[in-house]
Structure 1
């Protein structure tokens, strides 16, 4: 994921300290029920499409923008499927971030899936029963997007 300019500016004064940042993930389905994935250039792993909203940008608009920027696919958000505070991550340069991820179920409405920026090595549509290896992050989000359950959130913190 490319680092947005506004985060570079924050880092200039914040150093490596923990930044609490918004994040958005899109689970995009086509009319055949396939899910859109990108193979990340930084890890080589297949994943859902996502990114960081620009200041003032609505999360759903960010999902639409990120999907198009990374895959050339146009999509429409249908619903929020998950809201989750992720564990802090420390990058190789020492920067530490913690993301609040909002995941949207989206429907593809146009465009042809292709690598559309330098964040992906490959892009493709996958049948649910023939997904490449995905981490727990992606698996949970796809499962929630396919379910009729209400928005998932971690309710254990209320107990």
Structure 2
């Protein structure tokens, strides 16, 4: 949790918080890079929160680096996502809703899970993604990625 979010949590506790986010759509041909998250055990795309004053592309590059150790080239915007599918309740009771901008990204260096936020990474074709325990909002993002 960032210092910024922690400062808000110190005042509001576990109450619902709406946060800006960014999402990386990393492809290798017809395969997409997904991460299995430690807090939920579900597969999703890689991403996270935007800090105050941070440019969106810089936030995405930072999040991918923190979670996978990989550097990325951030490309074009795929879409903007929010609403009920983007709401999460964390194990500590914190409730969050994300509004996230998804970007096409190219891996520049190898990726490996940080084993803190992410348990594993995997490359999956669209058909295989449908059978994974996952955050279902990623279906829309992957569909929009073409």
Range class of TM-score, shorter chain: 0.7 to 0.9
Note closer, same or farther for the CA distance 1:33–1:71 as it changes in structure 2 (3 Å cut): farther
Paired residue for 2:20? 22
How far apart, CA to CA, are the structure 1 residues paired with 2:14 and 2:38? Answer: 24
Q: CA deviation at 1:144?
A: 0.8
Is structure 2 residue 21 aligned with structure 1 residue 51?
Answer: no
How far apart, CA to CA, are the structure 1 residues paired with 2:50 and 2:64? Answer: 12
Highest Rg: 1 or 2? 1
Give a deviation string over 1:123-142, Cα, whole Å, max 9, x none: 12223443351332111111
* Two-structure CA RMSD over aligned residues (Å): 2.0
Runs of 4+ in structure 1 over 6 Å off: none
Q: Give TM-score scaled by structure 2 length.
A: 0.83
Query: Is the deviation greater in 111-120 or in 121-130?
Result: 121-130
- What does 1:54-69 align with in structure 2 at a 5 Å threshold? 54-69=51-66
**Contact 1:73/1:111, CA 8 A, preserved across alignment:** yes
Structure 1, unaligned runs of 5 or more = 147-159
Structure 2, unaligned runs of 5 or more = none
Give a deviation string over 1:69-110, Cα, whole Å, max 9, x none: 2122221121111112222544454433322111111122x2
Paired residue for 1:102? 101
Note closer, same or farther for the CA distance 1:43–1:90 as it changes in structure 2 (3 Å cut): closer
